[in-house]
Amino acid sequence: MSSEKIIAAWKKKQFKPVYWLEGEEDYYIDQVVDYAEHKILSEADAGFNLTVFYGKDANWADIINACRRYPMFAERQVVLLKEAQQMREIEKLEPYIDNPLSSTVLVVSYKEKKVDGRTLLAKTLKKKAEVFTTKKMYENQLPEWTNEMVQQKGLTIAPKALALLVDHIGNDLARISNEVDKLSLNLGSRKQISEDDIEKYVGISKEYNPFELQGAVMKKDSARALQIIQYFEANPKAAPIQLVLPTLYNLFSKTFMIFGLPSRDEKTVAAGIGVSPFFVKDYIATAKNYGYEGVEAALLLLHQYNLRSLGVHDAGTSDASLLKELIYKLSLLP
């Protein structure tokens, strides 16, 4: 079951006694917990019937006692256990989960991992609880996810503005959501988010960013690429090397996929490598500019420079110097 389905059921007053929310993606877990904390009960009922525990400080016996209480002047009570992954002896909640009180809604937030499937607790959860497991979203899914979020707010976003936003923030759904909210508030009566809006309200230079660096590398425009890196050197927070290298690796790994496709027409390539049709011509041009051997060599170079950025076989070369060396070597590829 998804977070949307859980919340939709709650809106219809359909509740199960235990909800176990686990996994690597905090965004969806936080969505469900926030709704449980602020929306299941009215403000008046929450004063008597909402109990919140935090795993680091929680005692299993106190949680079970709270769950076994009956609601006061209401149909149900809500018990939240946040950051449950930090709780000691969490397995001692198993007897309650096996025999929960129907008038209690227990919501457990178990972030960053999953409960060990070999344990009695896991087996009981599978039988008696609503278990919601989240996974980190793949990088290639972020543009579509972000675009859908923008559309839900009744807005549109220019393709390049979308790429700027996603490339800058990366796989942080909560931050993307917050930035889209901020953009929505600042647009006024306008309905489309532009590159200028991203620059002004999110704080990303539309001229000097990893996306523009990627474009320069695609075209083998070393002068422009070095100009962008010099901007990064003067503004270290604008694009740390840990953001730049994955962007370039993504470029060449997607380009590498083109060589295995049955056709290089734009529709086939867009579907085959998972990029927007708006940008597919750039990837086809990159394949042409570098060729199979050049793209393969670029991937090996990126792996080498990623290791060096982490201090492997490197005595402390600055990030800007590493990027300049990388751009120079990429420019020499066939």
Q: What is the reported pLDDT for 37?
A: 97
Average pLDDT of span 243-256: 94
Q: What is the reported pLDDT for 109?
A: 97
Contact 326, 273 (CB under 8 A): no
Q: Same CATH topology for 3-134 and 139-202?
A: no
Distance CA 185, CA 188 (A): 7
Average pLDDT of span 105-126: 94
Q: What is the reported pLDDT for 238?
A: 86
The tens digit of pLDDT for each residue in 196-206 reads 999 999 999 99
Superfamily of domain 3-134: P-loop containing nucleotide triphosphate hydrolases (3.40.50.300)
pLDDT of residue 268 exceeding 80, the answer is yes
pLDDT of residue 1 exceeding 80, the answer is no
Main-chain phi, psi angles of 312, to 5 degrees? -85, 120
Contact 272, 264 (CB under 8 A): no
> Which residue type sits at 314?
D
Planar angle of CA 227, 172, 318, nearest 5 degrees: 35
CA atoms within 13 A on the CB side of 281: 1
Predicted TM-score (pTM) of this structure: 0.78
Does CATH place domain 139-202 in 1.10.8.60? yes
Question: Taking the domains of the chain in order of start, what are their residue ranges?
Answer: 3-134, 139-202, 234-331
H helix intervals, 21-172? 26-38, 43-49, 60-68, 94-98, 120-128, 142-152, 159-169
